[in-house]
A and B are shown apart, each in its own frame.
Chain A
Amino acid sequence: MQAESLGFIFLNAAIINNFVLALFLGICPFLGVSGKLKTATSMGIATALVMFISSLCAYAINLILLHFDLEFLRLIAYIAVIASAVQLVEMSMKKFSPTLFRALGIFLPLITTNCAILGLALFQTFRDYDFLQSVAYSTGAGAGFLLAIVLMAGLREKLELSDVPSISRGAAMSLMLAGILSLSFMGFAGLGGH
């Protein structure tokens, strides 16, 4: 067991090893849903919520699988858990915030195939995090994802108004922006180890 404090785990997941900009997880929504600041924010919040729920479930599932020596089923079990967590968030969002539900539309079910979420579940298993550490890790990862997608959306909204060469419009420009963003996040690397 590593002697990492909870605060360090949180900061590590949110900033130093940001899931999107340093570990390349969840690039699809990061590039796909970052066109508008408002949608990006709600997408970030929904993803962070699913991350939190599925990380807790994955922790419990892992205990069960370890107890019965069924580690080879881990992947299948995790993906099933994530799909159900997404369903749960979708239903509760439909009930408690119908406007947000409509704004997110198709992107909600697509959270299932966001690799940041499965990645989170796998990483916390690899690192043998205990319960509290998993909670800190998943909230950190969620906050990091939210931060990255909101920053990106802000940049892209500004970019709409600027005059860029026609060949670089769209995906190529977004990738360059992401590269610069990732470069600036590397400045945090000195804060802690890997």
Chain B
Amino acid sequence: MNAKTPDKSITADTFLRGLWRENPVFVMLLGMCPVLAVTNSVANALAMGLATTFVLLCSSTLVSLLRRHIPKEVRIASYIVIIASFVTVVDYIIQAVSLEIYNALGAFIQLIVVNCIILGRAESYASRHRVSKTLVNSLGMGAGFTIALLCLGSVRELLGAGTLLGQPVFGAAFEPWVIMLLPPGGFFVLGAWLLLFAWIKERQDRRQREAANLEARAHAG
């Protein structure tokens, strides 16, 4: 077996870390371009999330299978070719399933190739872990990415068009914030989500510090 494999067992953490602690979008800030560009509606966000998850799953499984046969010197090039092949597959699948979504996502389907999450996973995880573990991990990462896209997509669609999945939510008196559907809205909504998470984290840290302080004082007293 590969000597570098540190831990062979698959735990819940293998899957869950992609959802929260190492969330590709909110924590690692990877793959920003599709996150901002296609999240002007929930349907687009979902399609993009699923497409990326599919490519992520297939490419990291293949990389993991081939990890002992790819020479170190050409590994990045090989990963890119593997990823590009799967993206071409996804491109044709989406075109066949729904032309409407294909037109809405435009070039961003093909741009999955240069999504740093996929190459990053191939390089830092799939090339070092066995297939089943890689599969679980990339499923988690893909789910985390999809959830992040949905977080942005739902807020932007709700505020920008007053609808959710095309269904009107507010009454007719609601004046849509068109800015949310336009490019600046993407930046603002993602910034707001990051602020929210930073706030939660800071509150947790402060609680921990206070608890530690109390304990120290109790010991001193």
Contacts and interface: CB of A to CB of B under 8 A. Distances in A.
A118 B113 contact: yes
Contacts of A168: 195, 198
B16 interface: no
Contacts of A175: 187-188, 190-191, 194
A75 B184 contact: no
Contacts of B114: 79, 112-115, 118
Interface string A140-153: 00000000000000
Contacts of A167: 195, 198-199, 202
B33 A172 contact: no
Contacts of B204: none
A24 interface: yes
Given A83-B77, A179-B187, A27 B33 contact: yes
A31 B29 contact: yes
Interface string B156-183: 0000000000000000000000010011
B111 interface: yes
Contacts of B85: 76
B87 interface: yes
B183 A24 contact: yes
Contacts of B37: 23-25
A119 B33 CA distance: 11
B43 interface: no
B97 to A, nearest CB: 17
Interface in B112-146: 113-116, 119
A172 B195 contact: yes
B14 interface: no
A167 B87 CA distance: 37
A45 interface: no
Contacts of A22: 183
Contacts, number: 106
A89 interface: no
B70 interface: no
Interface in A16-41: 21-28, 31
Interface string A166-194: 11101111011011101100100000000
A126 to B, nearest CB: 7
A180 to B, nearest CB: 7
B88 A179 contact: no
B12 to A, nearest CB: 28
B183 A186 contact: yes
Contacts of A75: 84, 87-88, 91, 110, 113
Given A24-B186, A113-B119, 10 more contacts: A26-B33, A31-B29, A76-B88, A79-B81, A112-B80, A115-B115, A119-B111, A167-B198, A171-B194, A172-B192
Interface of A: 21-28, 31, 72, 75-76, 79-80, 83, 112-115, 118-119, 122-123, 126, 166-168, 170-173, 175-176, 178-180, 182-183, 186
